[in-house]
Amino acid sequence: MRALVVDDSRTMRRIVADILGDLGFDTSQAGNGREALDMLEAGQTFDVACIDWNMPVMDGLEFIAAVRAQHEWSGLTLIMVTTEGERDQVVRALAAGAHEYLMKPFTPDALASKLGLLGLLPVEESL
């Protein structure tokens, strides 16, 4: 499984990438929505993208709308990962095409639970 982490904070990118790495994902990183879009346009493919909302150049909401406008990227699962925590903002992100929404700060198991909901983690087979 391949994951793309889109966040303008290098620290945050590393934290999210480390969690995804521990869950078995190969991860790539982009500093804003435009960089992430460039990677997709260059033909890179990912199973899931974890996207910050507030970023320079192109924010997370614009990136999500741009991805959902392209049929060829319809297999990419989009998770908004943000400090924005109002109900209306969750509504806006879902309306733009986000599949899930995770509010910062979060624990590694919270991100894992979201991936589980989206069918991106194997079911635990044993205790």
Asked if 65 interacts with another protein (CB under 8 A), we say: no
Nearest-approach distance from CB 32 to another protein, in angstroms:
23
> How does 28-49 read in b/e, with b if 16+ C-beta sit within 10 Å?
bbbbbbbbbbebbeeeeebbbb
Please identify, using beta-carbon distances, which residue of 1 and 110 lies nearer to another protein. 110
CA–CA separation, 108 and 75 (whole Å): 24
Per-residue interface string for the shown chain with another protein, residues 93-112, x marking contact by CB under 8 A: xx---x-xxxx-xxx-xx--
Q: How far is the CB of 42 from another protein (least distance, A)?
A: 30
Question: Based on CB atoms, which residue is closest to another protein, 34 or 82?
Answer: 82
Q: In what order do the strands lie in the sheet with 100-103?
A: 26-30, 2-6, 48-51, 77-82, 100-103
C-alpha separations of 79 from 6, 33, 102, 120 in Å: 10, 13, 7, 12
> Minimum CB separation from another protein for residue 119, in Å?
8
Site for another protein in 76-95 (CB under 8 A): 85-87, 90-91, 93-94
